[in-house]
Amino acid sequence: MSALLEVDDLRISARNDDDELTPIVKGVSFTVARGEVVALIGESGSGKTTIALSSLGYTKPGLEFTGGEVRLEGEDVITMESDQLRGLRGQRVAYLAQSAAATFNPALTIGEQVTETCVLHGILTQEQADQRAETLYRALELPDPDRLGKRYPHQVSGGQLQRLMAATALCGKPDLLVLDEPTTALDVTTQIEVLKAFKSVIKQEGAAAIYVTHDLSVVAQIADHIVVLYAGEIQEHGTAEQVVSKPSHDYTRRLMHAVRPPPAAGQGDETSGEHRREAPALEVKDILAGYGRTQGGVPSITVLRDVNVAIERGHSVGIIGESGCGKSTLARVMAGLLPAAQGQVLLDGEELKPALQQRKRDELQKIQFVFQMADTALNPRQRIDHILGRPLEFYLGLKGEEKRRRIGELLQMVELPQEFAGRYPEELSGGQKQRINLARALAASPEVLLCDEVISALDSIVGANVIELLKRLRKQTGVSFVFISHDLSTVASFADEIVVLYAGRVVERGTTDAVLSPPYHPYTRLLISSVPELRVGWLEETMETQEAQAGIDRVVTLTDKGCPFFDRCPLAIEGTCDEETPPVRALTGSHAIECHRSEAEFAH
Amino acid sequence: MSESQQETSPSTQFEELPDAPPKRKVKLSWPGKIGIAVVIFWAIIVAIGPTIAPYHEADILDEELFIVPGSDEMYPDTDFQPPSKIVYLGSDYLGRDTLSRILFGARTTIGISFIATLLAYLLGVTLGIASAVGSRFLDMSLSRVNDALLSIPSIMFALVMIAALGSTIPLLILLTGIIYATSVFRIARSLGQEVMVSDFVEAAKVRGEGLWWVITREILPNIAMPLATDFGLRFVWVILFVSSLSFLGLGVQPPMSDWGSMVKENLPGLVYGSVAPLMPALAIATLTISVNMIVDDISAHSGGKLAKRMIS
């Protein structure tokens, strides 16, 4: 069979200030046959996007081709002139960027944007293109295909936008699709829907695709061949089945190892020792919070309702939910960044003022916030020793030699070399910055650490290392953790207790083992079944389940009455679930589920 | 081949890869280098101009100087003379030496502009940051006052004020400072607001830091670079503004020399092919273009984001 795309000994280098070339891609060769999906997998910096973009004859500014060929049907695209490239891009090779939300123009209708490329290239007339777009909407299982084209990007959900990007790319019937991390920014329940749509449409259209990602379990669902990259070199190359089940290279095995096992009972990092009968380290009671002007104790947009969470001393509580469920808002209420409209925040049994400006310094010291993005949470103009030194000086009054020694200890605690003290944040990698971010919070000697999605922005291997570090720090320091994440497997491997949030309500809570074993709240069941497993064929099996069909890819809506999960729930009772606030059903131990259905009904 | 190497160093294998290539240093292109040379040249002139000037700025040259040996012409014209060994850049409409007046004028023109720009920055940055970190009410009131000032054409505003209070150098500086503080305010406010919502400022607030710390340690260091670049550009506009005021006869008053008024005074000379109005114009052009070339280089380094913001 003739290959559609042949990448032959491709070399790409970056030119620095002194006109020296640093190789980024070091002699990579692979082929993509028609109708085949080839995945490029590796961490950030491995050159996977650079290689994928070369199939469009494009390099990012500052990079240049230094050798090899990229042949599309035998023609070298690297040496093409710009007018030839114009014919190539969007027509024969189409590119799908990572963030659909940033790619769509909010001022134009979806239809105009989906058909723009192929009409511009003169492949189809506007009418033909509109028809073609409609066929694609159907193939991608988008709702209301006849009228979707008239709507605007903000009127559809994130997962739908991501699928619409695929429609845009496929509209001109390209020979090759380049997909750059198309599901990385999505929630698990949305991700599987998008993956399924991509997979079926690629098969249906007979197009070939290059799929760029760092997530091995996603790759296992969609790719025929896998190319594992590290630092611009191919480490392993084989069929998906072969790479996933029998990895032959060390690096692939490390990648596999970093994929957290699917969430299941019995793998939680339970703190040993007796539950001491004293006030929890941090507790929130009956919290109602939101944004906008507050009138009569109710904000104009209410995000959290009736939220009760207690964090026992030395325990770690995982808070899990999809984007928009209010998990970050909860952390901000705890830290005082967003004063709650109603309810209490208790530290060691003592009530705290809602706003942080009114809290005392030693109260602030005991609750430390670790921000999600280490890139933006560290001031780029401050050296690491200043960043770590400030809380030491501010809370503990440390100065001079004592402060320097403590900074050294903190760096050691987060496993970074001492000489990092003299560096600026931009000289560090993503994982190293996150460690500094953690060290800064630890510098205050807190009692509770609020970790807001601390590993979400990191690659799998780096993220796994940070989780290991967190586990060690917990044992070492006895600090209580509030661990917020949208990734159930991460939370399952770290937390003693799990709180499942949905649309601002706690739908289930209990020890990790209790939450991850039946009986489940229907939403927890959906979350658990949506986590991709590292095996070929998982996607097809999952899509058959009842939960998946009822609940996948719906927008989370905030409601002030009834159960917010009503419209996605396979067990919903019309007339009850959408009208009345569900009761909290206490099960064994501290395990509680908020649902109208009885234990026997959802315990199937 | 690489197999054996990897086995020997298992610990260093698969190190975490750096996030991005190291940041590039600001590298000046050749127009930028020329720009810096010209700016340094004018800075030196500001310092030593009057001491190296062949005549005083107010000196009306003696007719005897222009008597050509061997000629019987006793009273030659002294005004609008072409460049010669006596007057290197020619003479002006009263017969004063253009070169001396440019050398003296550098001090007035650049000095006034520089102090006025500093004043504009002092006012604009202080209020802009206050507006960015302060309450909604403060932000609203400061911004509306600023909008009101912006809506008055600057030359008209200056004209009315000078007509009422008389033309003195302190008033000129104050007026220019206030007029240009309005645009500095907008830039400082928008830069400040951007930093204000960043996570590291939030982190400082969660730590319980006071407003003063947040402003001086978290915000100012992060907006200093774009502000400094904007300072260069703003300085150029102030030079042009002061020169245009002088051109209208509202700026620096005779007999003090100033590049703007020199262009105006000598305009009739264009008819006689005199270079007297061109030389001060050239001085203004070299300085302003040079500063722009430097700003361009720095702005290109920041990916053009800076330039976009400064236009607003």
Q: Which of B21, B199, B221 sits opposite A381 (nearest CB)?
A: B221
A322, burial (CB in 10 Å: exposed 0-12, middle 13-18, buried 19+)? buried
Q: Which domain holds residue B133?
A: 89-311
pLDDT at B137 over 90: yes
- How open is the CA angle A592-A596-A602, to the nearest 5 degrees? 70
Chain B residues within 8 Å of chain A (Cβ atoms): 2, 6, 13-14, 16-19, 21-25, 27, 198-200, 202-203, 205-209, 217-218, 221-222
A269: DSSP letter = -
> Of B11, B192, B53, B20, whose CA–CA distance to A426 is shortest?
B20
Query: Is the CB of residue A165 less than 8 Å from the CB of residue A90?
Result: no
The number of helix segments (H) and strand segments (E) in chain B equals 12, 0
Q: How many helices (H) and strands (E) does chain A have?
A: 24, 22
Q: Between B17, B21, B199, which is nearest A429 by CB?
A: B17
pLDDT of residue B16: 55
Q: Which of A453, A486, A511 is at the close of a domain? A: A511
List of chain B residues whose C-beta atoms are within 8 Å of the C-beta of residue A468: none
Considering the domain architecture, whether residues A524 and A493 belong to the same structural domain is answered as no
Tokens 């997998």 identify what position?
A: A41
Residue B37 has pLDDT above 90, yes or no: yes
Q: Residues 454 to 483 of A: which have CB under 8 A from any B CB?
A: 461-462
pLDDT in tens, A246-256: 888 888 888 87
Looking at the fold, whether A500 and A524 belong to one and the same domain comes out as no
Q: At what angle do helices B278-301 and B30-52 cross, to 10 degrees?
A: 140
Residues A306 and A405 in one domain: yes
What CA–CA distance (Å, rounded) separates A574 from B310?
Answer: 58
Alpha-carbon gap, residue B180 to B118, rounded angstroms: 10
Q: Is residue B77, in this structure, part of any structural domain at all?
A: no
Say which CATH number the domain at A138 has: 3.40.50.300
Q: Over 80: is that where the pLDDT of B12 sits?
A: no
- The answer to whether the CB atoms of A429 and B25 lie below 8 A apart is no
Q: What is the pLDDT of residue B232?
A: 81
pLDDT at residue number A550: 59
A530-540 per-position pLDDT tens digit? 877 777 777 77
The neighbour count for residue B70, using CB atoms within 10 Å, is: 5
Judged by CB atoms within 8 Å, which residues 386-405 of A form the interface with B? 390-391, 394-395
Please check the confidence at residue B22 and state whether its pLDDT lies above 50. Answer: no
Last residue of a domain, one of A511, A536, A555: A511
Dihedral sign computed on CA atoms, order A480, A482, A485, A488: positive
Q: What is the pLDDT of residue B303?
A: 53
Q: Are residues A499 and A562 in the same domain?
A: no
Q: Are residues A472 and A535 in the same domain?
A: no
CA terminus-to-terminus distance, chain B = 58
Pairs of residues, one from chain A and one from chain B, whose beta carbons lie less than 8 Å apart: 85
Same domain for A377 and A494, yes or no, is yes
How far apart CA B268 and CA A397 sit, in angstroms, is: 73
Chain B residues with beta carbon closer than 8 angstroms to that of A369? 203, 206
Render pLDDT for A132-148 as a digit per residue (tens, 0 to 9). 888 888 877 777 888 88
- For residue A337, the distance in angstroms to the closest alpha carbon of chain B comes to 7
Angstrom distance (rounded) from CA A391 to CA A445: 9
Average pLDDT over residues A233-245: 86
Q: How far apart are CA A286 and CA A307, in angstroms?
A: 5
Q: At what angle do helices B136-151 and B98-133 cross, to 10 degrees?
A: 150
The position carrying tokens 């299941």 is A264
Residue A521 DSSP code: -
pLDDT score for B4: 37
Q: Is residue B64 part of a domain?
A: no
Average the pLDDT over B294-306 and give the result: 67
What's the structural domain count of chain A? 3
CB contacts, 8 Å: B27 with chain A: 17
pLDDT tens for A65-107 read 888 888 888 888 888 888 888 888 878 888 887 777 778 888 8
Number of residues that make up chain A: 604
Residues A289 and A416 in one domain: yes
Q: Are residues A78 and A131 in the same domain?
A: yes
Query: Taking a C-beta distance cutoff of 8 angstroms, is the pair B232, B118 a contact?
Result: no
Tell whether the torsion through CA atoms of B216, B218, B219 and B220 is positive or negative: positive
Residue with tokens 């900074």: A407
What does the pLDDT look like over A481-521, one tens digit per residue?
Answer: 999 988 888 888 888 899 998 888 888 888 888 888 878 88
Position B4 in a domain: no
Residue at A264 is within a domain: no
Does residue B127 contact residue B66 with C-beta atoms inside 8 Å? no
Range of the domain at A405: 282-511
Q: pLDDT value at position B8? A: 33
Tens-place pLDDT, residues A109-133: 988 988 888 888 888 888 988 988 8
Q: Is A188 part of any domain?
A: yes
Task: Please answer whether residues B35 and B43 qualify as being in contact, where contact means their C-beta atoms are separated by less than 8 angstroms.
Answer: no
| Residue A396 in tokens | 């503990």
Average pLDDT over residues B252-276: 84
Nearest residue on chain A to B24, alpha-carbon basis: A17
Mean pLDDT of A280-302: 84
Residue with tokens 């440019």: B102
Sign of the four-CA dihedral B237, B239, B240, B246: positive
- Closest residue in B to A459 (Cα–Cα): B16
pLDDT number for residue B306: 52
Query: Same domain, yes or no, for A203 and A147?
Result: yes
Instruction: Give the model's confidence band at A17: pLDDT under 50 very low, under 70 low, under 90 confident, else very high.
Output: low
For residue B210, give the chain A residue with the closest CA: A357
B207 found inside a domain = yes
pLDDT of residue B19: 47
pLDDT category at A55 given cuts 50, 70, 90 is confident
- Cα separation, A461 vs A464, in Å, equals 5
- In this structure, the answer to whether residues A429 and A492 fall within a common structural domain is yes
d(CA B310, CA B312): 5
Q: Which residues contact B181 (CB under 8 A, 6 or more apart)?
A: B119, B120, B121, B123, B124, B127
Rounded to 5 degrees, φ, ψ at B41 are -55, -50
Backbone angles phi, psi at A3, to 5 degrees: -85, 145
pLDDT at A577 > cutoff 60: yes
A382 to B16: CB separation less than 8 angstroms, yes or no: no
Question: Taking 50 as the threshold, does the pLDDT of residue A43 lie above it?
Answer: yes
Burial class from Cβ neighbours inside 10 Å (0-12, 13-18, 19+) for residue A173 reads middle
pLDDT of residue B7: 35
Assign residue B189 the CATH number of its domain.
1.10.3720.10
Does residue A275 surpass a pLDDT of 50?
no
Q: Is B17 left (phi over 0), alpha (psi -120 to 50) or beta?
A: beta
Tell me the residue length of chain B: 312
Q: What rounded mean pLDDT belongs to chain B?
A: 82
Q: Which residue in B14, B18, B22 is closest to A254 by CB distance?
A: B14
Largest CA distance in chain B: 101
Report whether A181 contacts A218 (CB < 8 A): no
> Considering chain B, what percentage of its residues have pLDDT values greater than 70?
88
pLDDT at residue number A92? 86
Name the band, by pLDDT with cuts 50, 70 and 90, for residue B1: very low
Using CB atoms, pick whichever of B17, B23, B221 lies closest to residue A43: B17
E strands, chain B, where? none
For the stretch A412-457, pLDDT in tens is 888 888 888 888 888 787 788 888 999 999 898 899 999 988 887 7
Q: What is the mean pLDDT of residues A564-582?
A: 77
pLDDT given at position B55: 84
Structurally, how many domains does chain B consist of?
1
CA–CA distance, A191 with A182 (Å, rounded to integer)? 9
Do residue A38 and residue A117 come from a single domain?
yes
Q: How does strand A37-41 pair with strand A208-213?
A: parallel
Question: Is it the case that residue A385 has pLDDT exceeding 70?
Answer: yes
The answer to whether the CB atoms of A45 and B18 lie below 8 A apart is yes
**Contact in structure between A522 and A565 (CB atoms under 8 Å):** yes
A203, A223, A243 - which closes a domain: A223
Q: Are residues A163 and A147 in the same domain?
A: yes
Closest chain A C-alpha to B27 CA, distance in angstroms: 8
Per mean pLDDT, which of A371-385, B111-125, B208-222 is the most reliable? B111-125
Q: Is the pLDDT of residue B142 over 90?
A: yes
Q: Is residue A250 situated within a structural domain?
A: no
Q: What are phi and psi of B100, to 5 degrees?
A: -60, -40
Helices A158-170 and A188-205: crossing angle, nearest 10°?
20
